[in-house]
Structure 1
Amino acid sequence: MQGRPLDGIRVVDYSHFLAGPYVGRCLAALGADVIKVERPGTGDAGRQHATVLDERQSGYFLQLNMGKRGLSVNVKDPRGRDLMHRLCDSADVFVENYRPGALDRAGLGYADLSARNPGLVYCSISAYGHTGPDAHRPGFGLIAEAKSGIMAMVGTPGEPPPLLRISLGDMYTGSHAVAAITAALLGRVRSGRGQHIDLALYDTLFSMHEYAVQNWTIGGVLPEQTGHDMPASTLYGVFRAADGDLVIAAQQDDSWRRFADLLEASGGPAGFGTDTRFHTLSGRNAHREEILSGVRYWVAARGVAEVLAQLDAADVPCAKVQRIDEVLDDPQIQARGMVIEQQHPRYGTLRLPNLPFRFSDCDTTITEVAPDLGQHNAEIAAELGFTPSEIESLQADGVLFSTAAG
């Protein structure tokens, strides 16, 4: 087995909530020494967000910050700012997701840190980016989802769009950040210099449009809410069986023909398999309502398991719409190692989502639980050259803050 790809790389994770911490978690899985820096007292606001366990931790924080070391320092104190500068001098990567300009005022912006450490790869994540008329505006994933055009395309026609219920903007931007950071580190091998990576939630969600933009710019058609299927990809959608919901993806000609033959053979609408109107995608789209009516009737008369068994036998892509408890028990998820089990000193066994990285010659599964606030203060300060007496003084004065382990 090889070492992990980013062994020896130090990352300062000066971020909060989701996008930035997710980047740090990914880099930790890839082998980097990720130091999670938090404000004294309450720390990252994510500690009190969703599935709060106690005043120190939440499931949200545990998931996003596993594998990191914890530092809590008051950067408003000159001694704390000096410690942060020394930490950043030793770092390869700095990740932040504050509003543009906020860290410049704190002496932790790209200009200040890169002047001290020209090799630093500095990654900023914000709602709108560091340029443009909206750069100064606050925002979250919800804002970017609404602005990007994605939200306008989902939901039932005539009703307000639903919340997506996953943080698509944050996670997609975080994934791009990981790619950009690793590319910048590779580029640094040749140039010797780092650079500033400026990522925006709005930009990344806009970039996801695989068909909507050209629909409008080339075809002059605005995508609209379509409910449970895609009018341009018949048959591709969600259907209700007698005891649950499932999805069917028979939009390609070959899979449609197999599906249509199955319908006829099992008591469904007659003629679907031989009707030449349905032999092409454009033909199926033109007669979408007729097709949907027949398929809905056929599915509704059966249970989910029966429908899936018949579709699988016909090699038609399909799946049950699963709840989270069913996903955790899914043999495929288990076989792929997508659930991490960690042993926490206070909370016992934790079961959390793994990352999708799979390397042939190294294991990127994180076994270390997320740190308590300031858990590694003394260890990190010592690595930066602070003496035991200096560390004790910083702790006594609250420049370094920590919560005692229970």
Structure 2
Amino acid sequence: MSLPLAGIRVIDYSHFLAGPHLSRSLAAMGADVIKVERPGAGDAGRSHAFIRDGRSGYFIQQNMGKRGLAVDMKDPRGAELMQRLIAGADVFVENYRPGALAKLGLGYEELSAKNPGLIYCSVSAYGHTGPDAAKAGFGLIAEAKSGLLAQLGVPGAPPPLLRVSIADLYAGTHGVAAVCAALYGRTQTGKGTHIDLSLYDCTVSIHDYAVQEYLMSNGAVMPQQTGSDMPNSTVYGVFSARDGHLVIAAQVDDAWRRLALLIGGEALAGDTRFHTTAGRNAHRLEILPLVSAWVAAQPGQHAAIAALEAAGIPSAPVQTIDQVINDPQIVAREMIVDLDDPVLGPIKACNLPYRFRDADTRPTRSAPLLGQDNAAIAAELGYDADAIAAMRADGVLYEEEAVR
């Protein structure tokens, strides 16, 4: 059956990560996403690792399922083509500094005046209001300023970098929700809107306890670095086996009692000091060494997990990427998919998590080459073959060599 966003046209005028992730998600749910890039280099993500035969895995990951248009906006014909394209669009996604696109005639006020139903989604470092609105920023900046990094790592040591772009991806995911909500709202009002998403806002909103811990204690409690442990959720952390690491989530009362019975018998399970969350947190420095010693005494990581699972205690190995790719659960859920890339041929890529009972959300095409769909898109907009040929010859419509 058709995907839920079939018939929705999205113009992706974004680059790198937050915007492309947002629009790739919309493409997975059926939207016709047209990725618009500048002639020459295109999206800067095209040069981001990992590169094979000139193709970026990073770019493919965030742009699969889209069509590609490379147009010179400085040429009046290119500007006119873009205006025609946006006039028939439902959604416009951009992630430039506030005000930057207005100089190109692509600001919200101008576009919405011509297309009142347009949903215009802006993703920026700090949003379009506030004292920092004009500042540039990346995910790392938001993660640092949000207090997220300050809680990571060993006390006293510099916090480690997250090896995934939480701020960008979380903002992109919020963008998907906001765009879908705006599309529904448009069915009631007939009007579009401007969505203003900030990487900084999104990363602050991700805190599930730290902000409230500080506010509700009137500033008396400051969340700190705690290494591989959660002081407010004992037992909830990482433990070392002889041949690897594993996580144990026994922070709720019933799970703790099962864990206590497994590692210390009735004596530990019956210790009333540990029967509540507050009690376990207060005595965590007594509890954690007992858990660590039990894990270290097991024959290995898998043996420890088998014993924990048999006792009904949530646990899992700390897996490396090769183990994730081959995990039977990931294989069964089709989280790694096969693609046919126009340059690389058959490749594998990470899927998105959207699952609908009656629709297939697996990507049907790889990320576009730069300018791959120029001619088809221009023809859809009413340009004849001669006009398209002239724009191609003059570089208004740009195609990389692989397309030609």
TM-score tier, shorter chain, comes to: over 0.9
Match for 2:137 among 130, 139, 143? 139
Alignment of 1:330-341 (within 5 A): 330-341=327-338
Match for 2:202 among 204, 215, 234? 204
Which residue of 2 is the match for residue 313 of structure 1? 310
By how many angstroms is 1:54 displaced?
A: 3.4
Which residue of 2 is the match for residue 280 of structure 1? 276
In the alignment, structure 2 segments of 5+ residues that lack a partner are none
- In the alignment, does 2:128 pair up with 1:130? yes
Residues 138-187 of structure 1: CA distance to partner in whole angstroms, max 9, x if unpaired? Answer: 00000000000111111100001110110000111001100100111111
What is the SS of the residue equivalent to 1:94? strand
Which residue of 2 is the match for residue 36 of structure 1? 35
What is the CA–CA distance in structure 1 between the aligned matches of 2:379 and 2:237, rounded to whole Å?
57
Match for 2:370 among 364, 370, 373? 373
The code of the aligned residue for 1:4 comes to L
Residues 199-252 of structure 1: CA distance to partner in whole angstroms, max 9, x if unpaired? Answer: 000001111111111111111311000011111111100000000000000111
By how many angstroms is 1:30 displaced?
A: 0.7
Which residue of 2 is the match for residue 225 of structure 1? 225
What is the CA–CA distance in structure 1 between the aligned matches of 2:254 and 2:72, rounded to whole Å?
63
What is the CA–CA distance in structure 1 between the aligned matches of 2:253 and 2:237, rounded to whole Å?
16
The code of the aligned residue for 2:280 comes to R
What is the CA–CA distance in structure 2 between the aligned matches of 1:88 and 1:53, rounded to whole Å?
34
By how many angstroms is 1:271 displaced?
A: 2.7
Residues 243-299 of structure 1: CA distance to partner in whole angstroms, max 9, x if unpaired? Answer: 00000001111000001111135xxxx832121111111111111111111111111
Distance 1:345 1:80, change over 3 A: closer
Residues 73-103 of structure 1: CA distance to partner in whole angstroms, max 9, x if unpaired? Answer: 0101111111101100010000000111110
What is the CA–CA distance in structure 1 between the aligned matches of 2:172 and 2:368, rounded to whole Å?
21
Which residue of 2 is the match for residue 179 of structure 1? 177
What is the SS of the residue equivalent to 2:26? helix
Which residue of 2 is the match for residue 389 of structure 1? 386
What is the SS of the residue equivalent to 1:260? helix
Which residue of 1 is the match for residue 292 of structure 2? 296
The code of the aligned residue for 2:270 comes to T
In the alignment, structure 1 segments of 5+ residues that lack a partner are none
Alignment of 1:135-174 (within 5 A): 135-174=133-172
What is the CA–CA distance in structure 1 between the aligned matches of 2:277 and 2:191, rounded to whole Å?
51
Which residue of 1 is the match for residue 323 of structure 2? 326
What is the CA–CA distance in structure 2 between the aligned matches of 1:346 and 1:46, rounded to whole Å?
17
Residues 296-355 of structure 1: CA distance to partner in whole angstroms, max 9, x if unpaired? Answer: 111112210110000000000000000000001101111111111112243132111111
What is the SS of the residue equivalent to 2:348? strand
What is the SS of the residue equivalent to 1:199? strand
The code of the aligned residue for 2:261 comes to D
What is the CA–CA distance in structure 2 between the aligned matches of 1:291 and 1:119, rounded to whole Å?
59
**Could you tell which deviates more after superposition, 337-346 or 10-19?**
337-346
- In the alignment, does 2:396 pair up with 1:399? yes
Match for 1:116 among 105, 114, 133? 114
What is the SS of the residue equivalent to 1:35? strand
By how many angstroms is 1:384 displaced?
A: 0.6
What is the SS of the residue equivalent to 1:99? coil
What is the CA–CA distance in structure 2 between the aligned matches of 1:344 and 1:208, rounded to whole Å?
35
Equivalences, count: 400
What is the CA–CA distance in structure 1 between the aligned matches of 2:116 and 2:226, rounded to whole Å?
51
What is the CA–CA distance in structure 1 between the aligned matches of 2:53 and 2:13, rounded to whole Å?
23
What is the SS of the residue equivalent to 1:36? strand
Which residue of 2 is the match for residue 11 of structure 1? 10
What is the SS of the residue equivalent to 1:164? coil
What is the CA–CA distance in structure 2 between the aligned matches of 1:233 and 1:252, rounded to whole Å?
8
TM-score (norm 2): 0.97
Give aligned-pair identity as a percent. 62
What is the CA–CA distance in structure 2 between the aligned matches of 1:364 and 1:111, rounded to whole Å?
34
Alignment of 1:236-251 (within 5 A): 236-251=236-251
- In the alignment, does 2:193 pair up with 1:192? no
Which residue of 2 is the match for residue 85 of structure 1? 83
The code of the aligned residue for 2:371 comes to G
TM-score (norm 1): 0.97
What is the Cα-based RMSD across aligned positions, in Å?
Answer: 1.0
The code of the aligned residue for 1:161 comes to P
By how many angstroms is 1:395 displaced?
A: 0.7
- In the alignment, does 2:324 pair up with 1:362? no
